[in-house]
Chains A and B, each alone.
Chain A
Amino acid sequence: MIDAALIPWLIAGVPLLGAAVSPALWAQPHRLIAWSVGACGASLASVAGVGFAGYLAPQPEGLLLLFLLPLAAGVSLLGQPHHQDHRASWVLTLIFLGLGLGALTSQPVVGTLFLIAIHGLVIVLLYRHHTPLWPISWWGLGAYTLGALCLALTLVAAPPLSSMAALLVCAILLPLVPFHDGHLTALTRLPGNLPSFMVLLFPALGLHSLAPLAATLPDTVAWMVGGLALAGTVYGAVKALAQSRVRLLLSYSSLSFFSMLWWCVATARAVTPRAALFVGAMGLVMCGLLLAWQIIRTRYGDDVDPQAISGLASTMPQYAVLLSLLALAAMGLPPFGVFAGFVGLLLSSTAAFSAGIVVLICAWLASSWYILDLVQGLLFGARRADLRYADLLQTELVSLVIIVLTLLALGVAPITLFGPDRTPASISSTPTSTHPGSVAWNK
């Protein structure tokens, strides 16, 4: 029998070990990326082994995100060009994966330390990749610094200060207006494949941190969070509509969708496996779209303007099909996971029909507009004679196919597969003491 306390270290250790070995392969990018993907596979296997063996402590949000993180890390690596400039990001992916899995499976204090490490790494990376042409990245840096400070505060301060700090951390990781700049900056400024992994990692960590807090939110705070969530939903959708850069568009789009989740959590005061399904599916679909965009950048340069690319439907048919499927998933159409997660959230929500739901539906419809607009612009229109077109490489194809199939599986698999399907009401009625990591707002 394995000691339960060792389980998080075991799960976190596999990718970290992979990262530790990677310097030996530094001079051979092809081998390095293969090794990194292998480490992600091993990580997924370790999570699956430990999870199915019943060694993992039950989480309110279920175990789905634990499985999705190594998967997302692996596909984000697969979709990368084998270029030496990206070696650091491959190793960092493993480190972030290790730290993230550690944060998700560890006890509160250790988990907080893992989170602090993640914040610290992100701050360093964002600082290194700061550009004067993108001054907003200072705000992103500030957000993560605030997050790190808040995490430290949760370790040393007493409630309600620690609770407030914990909620702020959640709002930075699972983006909530006005603390969303970190999310935007991470998705636009981090190098290589990191944005496509981070778009799932951070929200997953945020949701995990929010789970113990949700049931204890005072009415005023819940009302404020609900209001901010609705504002964020609209703000994200409107900003996404106005974007011309793909990564920013996807950042704002994900902000809008994650804000919907915030609203549902604030009204239900609970984080259920359905919420995890939504975060997992949304994170994965954004990961897929970012990868799809990365495939374009691989061919036409990092800084390519999406306006310059068109007519891919005839020239890159495999890419066109997979991008279309991802777009359908991102728009929340069945049978993909985003649809299942969103509808599950709404159906299990305790909130009656309200203005909030109308806002959510409107933002959802808006997403159909900007996502279709983006896809239409890339796939259709005039074929440029001066561009070289090369359809998907095998690794790119595999990465996108895995994402599409996973989204499909998330859409059709029963929710009980990822954790006990409890209604928010039943979770709320459960004493908070059952959650070892819960934090009281008022003693």
Chain B
Amino acid sequence: MEQINPSIDIESRRMELRGVVQLAGEVIAQYWPMRTFVHHNPLHSLEYLPFEETARRGKQFMGGHSYLPGALYREYLKSGRMQTAHLDAVLKPLVQNQSVTIGSRQIAHGDVLRSCLTEGLCAPVTEPLDDQLYDPEKETLDAVAAGLAAGWTFPDLRKRIDLIVEGDQAALGRWLTLSHWCDDTLGTQIVRQINDQLIKWCEAFLDEGHAAWAMPERERGLYSSWKALAAQEWSPCGIADSRRKIAQLPDYPEDALLQSLDALGIPSPLRQDYLSLQLTALPGWAGFIKWRAEERDYPWQQAYPVGLVKFLAIRVWYAHELVQKACRDELGIEGRYDAIVAYMRERPDEYYLRRQRVAGRLPALYAEEVDRLRHHKGTGWSRVIERYAADVVPRQEIAARRGAAKRLSALARSLELDPALLASAPPATLTQLFNWMEAFPEADHGPVWLKALEAAYQQRLLGQLRTPAAQRTASANPPGTSRPYSQSVYCIDVRSEPFRRHLESTGPHETYGFAGFFAAFIRYRAWGKEHDTEQFPVIMRAKNEVREIPRSYFDHKVSKHEARTKWVQAGHTLLHDLKENVVTPYVMVESLGWFYGLPIFGKTLLPALYHRWTSWLRHLFVPTIATTLTVDKMAPAETAEMLATEHHAVIRKVLHEQAGLRSSRIAPALVEALRQQALNGQGDLDPALIESAQPAGLSAEALPPLIDILRRQYDLTARSTSRHKERITRMGFTVEEQALTVDTALRMMGLTHNLARLILFCAHGSTSENNPYESALDCGACGGNEGKPNARVLAMMANNPLVRKRLAKNKLAIPPDTHFLAGQMDTTTDDVQLFDLEDVPPTHRADLARLLEDLNEASALTSLERCARFPDVQEPLDEQAAKAHVRQRSVDWSQVRPEWGLSGNTAFVIGRRELTKGLDLDGRVFLQSYDARQDPSGRLLEVLLTGPQVVAQWINMEHYFSAVDNDVYGSGSKIYHNVVGRIGIMSGPWSDLRLGLARQTVMNGDVPYHEPMRLLSIVEAPRARIDKLIERHEVLRHFYHNEWVHLIALDPEDLAWYRYRSTGVWTPLE
């Protein structure tokens, strides 16, 4: 028999494990760092499953609810957000054709189900054993309970125990980790202990410059650095001999994880689910690690590698040690899967009593008896269970019957029946009614409520969209009839909708909706910044870079500006270091503490004034300089020249500092020879170099150290130069690329004819104070950044005469008097700022003035509309007051809702503006301009459905899940938020990285401000074209077939509305 090579076997096991971990990680979503907050579906990886199935998985793994509590849906029903008719329509498939008669009244199955929903009759209620509260209905209830006794049997204790044991056996490893099992059975706190440890290590390891003292040895990776440091700890979590155990762990995290899984005895088929459960115990940290592991180019990942295998290796080691300890100490068994299963099977009474005790479900005296048996390792479990069966179970039966009678009585009242009639009803009827209610538990209500709520909203929205043009507040005349004052393009974001509506109401302005990155996929570096931002949707990639540079006529001011900026930065750094240092805060508080009084009082008492004052001061010290962008690509010769100049400067510096040569003695030939030697020469010195060095007094022996310094300290090597060159070649766009970008953008926007004299690309950003999630308010299509650079890039491209020539060749003629502007709307203040106004031709000044005036008016109207939504604004405001109010909110550091514009998003309309023009869509609809007539091939629609729609769905789902279960899928109250590691936030000082949106973002008190509904996509396009795209793209099939997104089409061919069913069939809408 052929011998198997052990090393190959180990490697294959490692590979297999990595695959299992990858699959296990599907249940957690990636967690983007907060500086580029990306709205996403927290269950994104499970979108291949139907929505309802994913909801179940979310409950299983994360413990999260995927629907609102029934009480909130009932509030929606009472407030008229939905009607009973919507409920009945959704209930139709569940209703059986059966009824019972009570008194003279016939009660149908459907009536019972509806009552269950509208009155909350099926909510699980624990009926107390000896309820002593006075109940005026007691006699009736007793009679009904007696009636139920005949046809309804209370489950036998033995059967209940067997059921629990069987259920827990089946759940162990799949839904329940061994650590959870110990916590539930033995009352330990293993999961919390492990979480505390992992939070500690993750917080220290994943820190991105927030900590004053960084964790040592991070460059070795999470697992190895933990191993090195944890081995110094004294008995973490009470694990005996932990130092030796940790030191003896394998070097490879895969091996350690396998070893721990083997020690826990987790069967192979269960390992994926088991590891999923381990990951979902801390979905925030695990999600961030998952994201980092997938971002191989991320600088922090390159410096300090981390991955889910490493994370799990640590986690499961703690789990194994603690489970082992608990099982041995408490039960005298091994902490292994098989031993625990055997324990449940062989000692069911003890298991039942222990579980009930930990869950707080035992009467106090029995709880104490169980405690006594546990502490004394007693053997009287059977005796206690016998007494329990004789003493408690009959009381439980009575309580259960009383509970059932209460529910039947509530049902009778909801059906406007006298509950006393129930007392005279036959037992079979009562049992039948009760069984109907039991078969429709509250856990099954969520999907019904959600569908009814969605149906109600969809009905309203479609009713609006069908409003004839004559009945709308603004005319919906098709564009092209006359030349508009301006055309402006806004992000598809729901926050643009009110602004567009108001701008259109001020005059003949046309507006368009397009994803806020304006088809400009760029990596951008602002002037004076050291890091790039990725200005495109996270699901895409960019190959072009753009930098912001001062305009050439400001060259003389640049050095002064830079120097002052450095002073400001140095001041900030100094203050930060003084605050963070171990010793200096003691001195600093005494000496400089008073200085902080000014900002504290200013920001608290007069935030708007303080903001204006500090802005003025900042501009006084560091005046703003007009800038432009490096949109055009450099020619290869220019690139080479630029690189050579940079190298020459470095070499001159080295010659001066290392060889003591004055500038006059440094000949260009020597510099170039040294450069060539550093870049190309690996062996002997080039004779030309030796020759050019002689006049400067440098011997041949002095040259190699200089070259070595150039290579090592200044990275003057061929490889580095090549990288640099490649980077420079990525800078900017060629004319062809620019023409293609503008062509694509304008065609997708539908801006191809009757162009106005001014066309504005209006991006959006936000201003808020003391808001860690500020980027969540920025443009999602720009990777959670402001869209200003993209707007400027596209405007500059579109104004380029060479680009226009190319476009004209492509039959996209831009009139010579059309000028493209870039602007940005601040969604917290509603102000629009225009950029690069230096480039506006003098002939367009009047147009510009008119546009600015109308933009200001639209801004004021938008602020007024927004103010009406803020719960803290009690009185109606006038326009000026509204403007002042939103500005104050944006700079108020105690404001938890500086904007509150994105919440409420519900629908996505892809179609012509005529469809929505003049309609108040309440800031809830993403508007994407699309003219199906301009896209016969469906190419543009394909991009819209697979790009912007995906972004909209992520935003929608982020809000949906944050609203339905803010504790699990959201990030809880902002009051407790603490920034950690510059990557995210924790609740309080010690928690998982919080996912999703803050409670204040989606809730208004206890009621959701964001009505959680799945996205409704309305597409104005031929159905056949949509069908083709659905067939082509898996993501679309997942969306529509798995009911993550509702799809409705307005078919231009027959002007009829159709709904796309999850079965893939179109049905006409009435």
> Which residues of A approach B to under 8 Å, CB–CB?
81-83, 85-86, 131-134, 244-245, 297-309, 384-388, 390
* B268 → A minimal CB distance (Å): 36
Out of A85, A131, A300, A307, name the residue touching B128 (CB < 8 Å): A300
Closest to A80 in B: B132
Contact assessment for B368 and A390 in the assembled complex, using a CB-CB cutoff below 8 Å: no
Question: Is B366 interfacial (CB 8 A cutoff)?
Answer: yes
* A290 → B minimal CB distance (Å): 14
Question: Is B541 interfacial (CB 8 A cutoff)?
Answer: no
* B134 → A minimal CB distance (Å): 6
Question: Which residues does chain B contribute within 8 Å of A133, judged by CB atoms?
Answer: 365-366, 368-369, 387
Closest 9 CB pairs of A and B: A303-B363, A308-B360, A307-B360, A301-B128, A81-B132, A301-B129, A305-B360, A83-B132, A301-B130
Contact assessment for B125 and A302 in the assembled complex, using a CB-CB cutoff below 8 Å: no
Question: Which residues does chain A contribute within 8 Å of B364, judged by CB atoms?
Answer: 245, 303-306
Question: Which residues does chain A contribute within 8 Å of B362, judged by CB atoms?
Answer: 305
Closest to B358 in A: A307
Question: Which residues between 56 and 85 of chain B lie within 8 Å of chain A, taking CB atoms?
Answer: 69
Contact assessment for B130 and A302 in the assembled complex, using a CB-CB cutoff below 8 Å: yes
Which residue of B128, B129, B363 has the most chain A CB atoms within 10 A of its CB atom?
B128
Question: Which residues does chain A contribute within 8 Å of B125, judged by CB atoms?
Answer: 386-388
| Sampled A-B contacts (24; CB under 8 Å) | A81-B134, A131-B365, A133-B365, A134-B368, A244-B367, A244-B371, A245-B367, A245-B368, A297-B132, A298-B133, A299-B131, A301-B130, A301-B363, A302-B129, A302-B363, A303-B364, A304-B363, A306-B364, A309-B360, A384-B126, A385-B69, A385-B124, A386-B126, A388-B125
Contact assessment for A303 and B360 in the assembled complex, using a CB-CB cutoff below 8 Å: no
Contact assessment for A386 and B123 in the assembled complex, using a CB-CB cutoff below 8 Å: yes
- A421 to B938 CA separation, bound complex (whole angstroms): 97
* A249 → B minimal CB distance (Å): 11
- A106 to B886 CA separation, bound complex (whole angstroms): 77
- A245 to B367 CA separation, bound complex (whole angstroms): 9
Out of B124, B130, B371, name the residue touching A303 (CB < 8 Å): B130
Question: Which residues does chain A contribute within 8 Å of B220, judged by CB atoms?
Answer: none
* B972 → A minimal CB distance (Å): 13
Question: Is B361 interfacial (CB 8 A cutoff)?
Answer: yes
- A133 to B367 CA separation, bound complex (whole angstroms): 10
Closest to B187 in A: A307
Closest to A132 in B: B387
Report B324-362 CB contacts with A as 1/0, cut-off 8 Å.
Answer: 000000000000000000000000000000000101111
* A265 → B minimal CB distance (Å): 33
Contact assessment for B130 and A299 in the assembled complex, using a CB-CB cutoff below 8 Å: no
Report B112-127 CB contacts with A as 1/0, cut-off 8 Å.
Answer: 0000000000011110
* B475 → A minimal CB distance (Å): 52
Question: Which residues does chain A contribute within 8 Å of B371, judged by CB atoms?
Answer: 244
Question: Which residues does chain A contribute within 8 Å of B131, judged by CB atoms?
Answer: 299-301
- A413 to B218 CA separation, bound complex (whole angstroms): 64
Report B399-433 CB contacts with A as 1/0, cut-off 8 Å.
Answer: 00000000000000000000000000000000000
Contact assessment for A303 and B365 in the assembled complex, using a CB-CB cutoff below 8 Å: yes
- A157 to B760 CA separation, bound complex (whole angstroms): 109
- A123 to B893 CA separation, bound complex (whole angstroms): 66
- A86 to B130 CA separation, bound complex (whole angstroms): 13
Question: Which residues between 360 and 396 of chain B lie within 8 Å of chain A, taking CB atoms?
Answer: 360-369, 371, 387
Contact assessment for A298 and B132 in the assembled complex, using a CB-CB cutoff below 8 Å: yes
Closest to B71 in A: A385
- A404 to B129 CA separation, bound complex (whole angstroms): 30
- A422 to B130 CA separation, bound complex (whole angstroms): 50
Question: Which residues between 734 and 789 of chain B lie within 8 Å of chain A, taking CB atoms?
Answer: none
Out of A297, A298, A305, A385, name the residue touching B367 (CB < 8 Å): A305
* B445 → A minimal CB distance (Å): 13
Question: Which residues does chain B contribute within 8 Å of A308, judged by CB atoms?
Answer: 359-361
Given contacts A81-B133, A244-B371, A385-B123, whether A134 and B128 have CB atoms under 8 Å apart is no
Contact assessment for A82 and B134 in the assembled complex, using a CB-CB cutoff below 8 Å: yes
Which residue of A86, A131, A388 has the most chain B CB atoms within 10 A of its CB atom?
A388
Contact assessment for A387 and B126 in the assembled complex, using a CB-CB cutoff below 8 Å: yes
Question: Which residues does chain B contribute within 8 Å of A304, judged by CB atoms?
Answer: 128, 363-364
Question: Which residues does chain A contribute within 8 Å of B360, judged by CB atoms?
Answer: 305-309
- A205 to B128 CA separation, bound complex (whole angstroms): 37
- A302 to B133 CA separation, bound complex (whole angstroms): 12
- A298 to B124 CA separation, bound complex (whole angstroms): 20
Question: Which residues does chain A contribute within 8 Å of B357, judged by CB atoms?
Answer: 305
Contact assessment for B133 and A305 in the assembled complex, using a CB-CB cutoff below 8 Å: no
Closest to B124 in A: A386
Question: Which residues does chain B contribute within 8 Å of A303, judged by CB atoms?
Answer: 129-130, 363-366
- A297 to B365 CA separation, bound complex (whole angstroms): 14
* B1041 → A minimal CB distance (Å): 33
Report B458-501 CB contacts with A as 1/0, cut-off 8 Å.
Answer: 00000000000000000000000000000000000000000000
- A305 to B128 CA separation, bound complex (whole angstroms): 11
* B333 → A minimal CB distance (Å): 25
Question: Which residues does chain B contribute within 8 Å of A307, judged by CB atoms?
Answer: 359-360
- A386 to B359 CA separation, bound complex (whole angstroms): 14
